[in-house]
Chain A
């Protein structure tokens, strides 16, 4: 298998960012088809396609769309989650920058199916280019009747707004995103069964759908070519249909976004990205920094699909795939990841607020050469006290990589704790370690 460019097909063509160029390449065929369909038929088409959310959790998209009240009694909202903060993931960025109309058309289809009045694209604050590209595309869409009042004569009135985030990873979590969108502190809100689903009471307590950028974009080919066709992609997997964009980074020769059919072996993705750089494959974090890491052996058999990757011990996540070479000190890597989550914890709940910081402190102490015999057990215990006990997924996301690394590479932790030094004693490893931990590596 090779790349399967469904969403990224025209990504390299600048004209694709203009309405004219988009139309010339078959743009808005999907909306044109959808507008002749019953609302339920659109949702059923998405159901048939087997589309699952591309934001990380892989939740069936049609269930969300179907959850919106059919008899409209109040305003309905759409949110596009474009906060893309998970380290290693940069697919939404490219989609927004180079294929903005795919996002707009996908959201308009969703609006049509769910009678949404307005959509908000919540863009990560740093993504200025993405916002600019979307701004230009939205303006053009408005000017030509693809957004605003009575879109393409469908009677649908749909307004699309861009909202820039203010620099918090947690604001990508859907309920925190809504808080932030409403002008509140970026903290998550109660979830089902503690509170109604967003489809019942989401943003401003109105029925709301929230999907990832890639999820909306995927709705376009599904409506254009039909759900029946879409399920043929990834047909050999348990329950992963269509294509998925993986952002490949770290020690590879050609980092970048690669769109593949579900069911593609992980090692093929590595080949697409030009193979390993600077050393042999040691580990892979296939779905963004929060998912547990795989060791080289796991990688050989790993298949890129939701259930298949889960069985191998990791997750598709948001598709931020990082290949780490033999010079990677796993302890340093884990410290770096832990630092991210400790800094991004919103502080709302005890396990994540205190646990992430504590894990970071322990890892830092180990890196400074002051590891204690019980540290590995303690770290594992802490991850258990966080995982599933936190208020939102960030706590889990902080616990998994630590637990995963210790499980896959216990000997590296043991070595570091016992000897006060890294087991990976190469100049490359030293170069990757923080300055204050240089003593744990031999001088060149």
Chain B
């Protein structure tokens, strides 16, 4: 997948110091090598330089053969100037200082300077550059420009047009990074302003990023607006626990209350971006007015607040010798899942545990690894960037895996990667697709067979019948389009990406596994990703009915659907829900409700009240991810650590702690004092985590490697295909 690395260097001189830099490196970057800085506004290292603001003007010359320097008559924008042999740059001359002053004066003449009430105040590049380089007084006698100060671009983003310095960062973000092209400039000259097309809503899955990259307080968060001053905020690094990507963020909080989420740079994961789910979703979670403070047990119609010890006794009493099952949400930490599966399998003596909430729940025997020998995650998010071709199959990638989506788009935008998008409905990725394969709902497997027929000679026999023409008849995808797609992928070590969401389509599992197999045969790499926060970690910890820690086979218990069905029939006595609400999370609401109605003991471990509370017999308050220490494994199998940032309300405890304390009481658990102790246990039990130590996980996380020497087998998938294709 790797693209050629450019190594040619050139000799340049910056402020009389000679240095070698890669040819074509922008001067604004080269100066950093000397510890210098050129002030900027419009330049952003992740977007194409535009040279709009002129803040970065420097003097430039070229070495002549006789050793003299010929200066260019005009100053040059350092942010757009590529280094070339013999270039001489001056960043500290009188002219440069005069020009910086000049540009700042221009930016300030119409600027409202309402710093005292501006969200950016204190972390504002315009303030900072003015302090460092600007004029100290104003020569502007005219009336300042007046424009709308609180124009709502969307539910999340509010624009203060007076503060805008027309740097175009926001516009370029939507064109280059998110690709939704929602923002553009209207009008020209001094009237120019960023705007949505036709003043419609700013509709984007990534709109929050523009707030962070805006160099002034023009783009503000509708939620955060006027809520705090930056210097009053404390900030700590953390992770997003709402998406499966493992997005790195900062939690900014004030007086213990979460105020905002900002992107945190991790080149391997999210670069510096966030999806709107990440940026705006945590607020409702942490600042939920219905947070549970203390344990409760039911007394008749009402709940009584109790000590933890009493609550534990009640829970264990309800489980003793009873038919028990445990369901968990997808936002728990690895330690939580590990501790709970251990508790379930020892003290509670049950294998009825699951964390999956989709319609189709595969038994271990039918999973990809069991049937083909192939691992489901074969490359990392960052690897996508260097792929020459990418096949996005059966997923709305932007919604399911926002960071994989941004990388896929980047691969196309930056490197011209050919992207093939196959899905039964429209999705954002189509906007930059080389070929779109829009198949009829329910025909993903036939399409996969058609692709296998073209791309994987070893599968050609099994997919004999799936010629492009046959595939067209079955799926509605034109035969030529299919051939074009195959052409785009052939011989490229392409990346194929899909998600477990595909299982829920008709024959989706066959489609998924055929895709994995054909990709492997065609020399590509496959990623079949889970779609929920720490679902990946939970599975690896063995929080599954038929797989123990590290995927070891165990006597199969019931899966989510089976547990709910059994519960609905009264065949489960005690159901423990850890951070989930079947009524909210399970596709079949009616079944979920019936299940909760019919279990004798419903134990809730959760952070806030849910509908399930109505049926609960005991409620234990759970700390949310940022309120405790823990590790998380993202869909690309990156293990990352988040340390406690916020204080958990009341007496809330980490789920692992609750499991451990229950286990201690039941005599089944060792005492853990910290998440790292649980991690030690994990390192012993789960081969992929062997040797992992909580405190040693690097800041950017570690991506787990798949075991070597897996052997690929076609048989099971070929059989499935034959029964599918033969049945036609």
Contact = CB atoms under 8 A, between A and B. Distances in A.
A394 to B, nearest CB: 10
B51 A354 contact: no
Given A353-B192, A358-B142, A347 B185 contact: yes
Contact of B80 (A194, A354, A378, A388): A194
B57 interface: yes
A190 interface: yes
B192 A347 contact: yes
B107 interface: yes
Given A348-B52, A349-B54, A389 B190 contact: no
Interface string A286-326: 00000000000000000000000000000000000000000
B110 interface: yes
A308 B109 CA distance: 39
Nearest to A347: B192
B274 to A, nearest CB: 28
A388 B75 contact: yes
A419 interface: no
B74 A389 contact: yes
Given A347-B189, A350-B54, A353-B192, A185 B82 contact: no
Interface residues of B, number: 40
Interface stretch (A154-162, A337-345, A402-410): A337-345
Contacts of B84: 193
A356 interface: yes
Contact of A347 (B50, B102, B188): B188
Contacts of B107: 350, 354
Contact of B189 (A356, A378, A384): A356
Contacts of A342: 189-190
A381 B99 CA distance: 11
A439 interface: no
Interface residue SS majority, chain B: loop
Contact of B103 (A168, A348, A350, A365): A350
B142 to A, nearest CB: 4
A365 B53 contact: no
Nearest to B102: A385
Contacts of A358: 106, 109, 140, 142
B75 A347 contact: no
Interface in B56-95: 57, 73-77, 80-82, 84
B82 A353 contact: no
Nearest to A377: B139
A343 B187 CA distance: 10
Contacts of B189: 342-347, 353, 356-357
Contacts of A349: 51-54
Contact of A354 (B76, B187, B190): B190
Contact of A357 (B50, B184, B190): B190
Contacts of B53: 349-350
Interface in A383-434: 384-385, 388-391
Contacts of B400: none
B651 to A, nearest CB: 56
B560 interface: no
Interface in B144-196: 165-166, 168, 184-185, 187-192
A351 interface: yes
B75 A389 contact: yes
A381 B187 CA distance: 27
A358 B109 CA distance: 9
Nearest to B104: A350
A389 B99 contact: yes
B141 interface: yes
B91 to A, nearest CB: 16
Nearest to A188: B51
Interface string B189-216: 1111000000000000000000000000
B43 to A, nearest CB: 12
Given A345-B188, A349-B54, A350-B53, A385 B74 contact: no
A351 B102 contact: yes
Nearest to A360: B190
A253 interface: no
B535 interface: no
Interface string A40-81: 000000000000000000000000000000000000000000
Contacts of A378: 139
Nearest to B190: A357
Contacts of A389: 54, 57, 74-75, 99, 102-103
Contacts of B74: 388-389
Interface string A368-386: 0000101000100100110
A355 interface: yes
Nearest to A375: B141
B252 interface: no
Most A Cβ at <10 Å: residue of B52, B80, B105, B188:
B188
A374 B138 CA distance: 13
Interface residues of A, number: 36
B466 to A, nearest CB: 38
Contacts of A353: 106, 166, 189-190, 192
Contacts of A350: 52-55, 103, 106-107, 165-166
Contacts of A381: 139
A318 B67 CA distance: 38
Given A347-B189, A353-B192, A358-B140, A194 B51 contact: yes
The winner among A356, A357, A374, A381 for most chain B CB atoms within 10 A is A357
A355 B105 CA distance: 10
Contact of B190 (A345, A365, A372, A384): A345
Contacts of B80: 190, 194-195
A206 interface: no
A357 B192 CA distance: 12
B73 A356 contact: no
Contacts of B57: 389
A185 B139 contact: no
A353 B106 CA distance: 9
A51 to B, nearest CB: 25
A412 to B, nearest CB: 21
A385 B134 CA distance: 14
A94 interface: no
A362 interface: yes
A361 interface: yes
B109 A354 contact: yes
A389 B103 CA distance: 9
A193 B81 contact: yes
A358 B144 CA distance: 10
Contacts of B187: 347
Contacts of A185: 184-185
B82 A351 contact: no
Given A190-B80, A361-B142, A347 B103 contact: no
A390 B54 contact: yes
A351 B140 CA distance: 15
Nearest to B41: A350
Contacts of A361: 142
A355 to B, nearest CB: 6
A351 B75 CA distance: 13
Q: Nearest 9 A-B pairs (CB), nearest first? A: A347-B192, A385-B102, A354-B106, A345-B189, A357-B190, A388-B74, A361-B142, A194-B80, A347-B188
Given A345-B189, A350-B54, A372-B141, 12 more contacts: A168-B188, A190-B49, A194-B51, A194-B81, A195-B80, A347-B185, A354-B110, A356-B190, A358-B106, A385-B99, A389-B99, A391-B54
Interface of A: 168, 170, 185, 190, 193-195, 342-351, 353-358, 361-362, 365, 372, 374, 378, 381, 384-385, 388-391
Interface of B: 49-55, 57, 73-77, 80-82, 84, 99, 102-103, 105-107, 109-110, 139-142, 165-166, 168, 184-185, 187-192
21 contacts: A185-B185, A193-B84, A194-B80, A194-B81, A345-B189, A345-B190, A346-B188, A347-B188, A347-B190, A349-B53, A350-B106, A350-B107, A351-B106, A353-B190, A358-B109, A358-B142, A365-B142, A385-B99, A389-B99, A390-B54, A391-B52
